[in-house]
Amino acid sequence: MDSRSRTGGRPTPTEQIQTLAVFATGILAEAMYVIGLGALCSVAIMAVLLAGG
């Protein structure tokens, strides 16, 4: 993501915080994806145990 100011030069503190916030939500979205995937698999694995293999 281009975090440079629209007027050119170094990004302002506000723009830096905005960029960091976008990145942080990206990390959170990926973490939620992994948790969702793991939860789905856990249900399938549990079903196998209940069915006795």
Partner 1 sequence: MMLRPTLEDHKVVGFYTGRIIIGVGALMVLPLSTSLLFAEWKTAIDFATGLLACLAAGFGLQALCLTHQELRRRHGLVIVSTSWVLATVLGAIPFYLSGYFGSYLDAIFDVMSGLTTTGLFLLQDLDHVPNGLNMWRFVLTFAGGQGIIVIALTALFKGVGGGIYHLYSGEGKEDRLLPNVIQTARTIWVVSLGWLLAGTAALTVSALALGQEPVRALLHGLWVFMGAFSTGGFAPQSYNTMWYHSLVFEILCVIIFVAGSLNFAVHWAVWTGSRAELRRNVELRSFAVTLGIFSLITAIGLARSGLYTDALPFVRKTLYLVLSGHTTTGFGTIYARSLVTQWGPLPMLGIIGAMIIGASSCSTAGGIKGIRVAIISKSFLQDVRRALSPESSVITSRYHHVKDRMLADDTVRTVLMITIAFLTMHAIITVAGVMAGYPVLEAGFDGVSAASNTGLSCGLTAPSMPDFLKVVYVLAMWLGRMEFLAVFALFGWIWSVVRGR
Helix residue ranges, H only, 1-53: 13-51
Q: Which two tokens stand for residue 47?
A: 């079903």
Provide the binding-site residues for partner 1, judged by CB under 8 A: 1, 22-24, 26-27, 29-31, 33-35, 37-38, 40-42, 44-46, 48-49, 51-53
Rounded least distance, CB 35 to partner 1, Å: 7
Q: Which is nearer to partner 1, 5 or 46 (CB)?
A: 46
Shortest CB 17 distance to partner 1, Å = 14
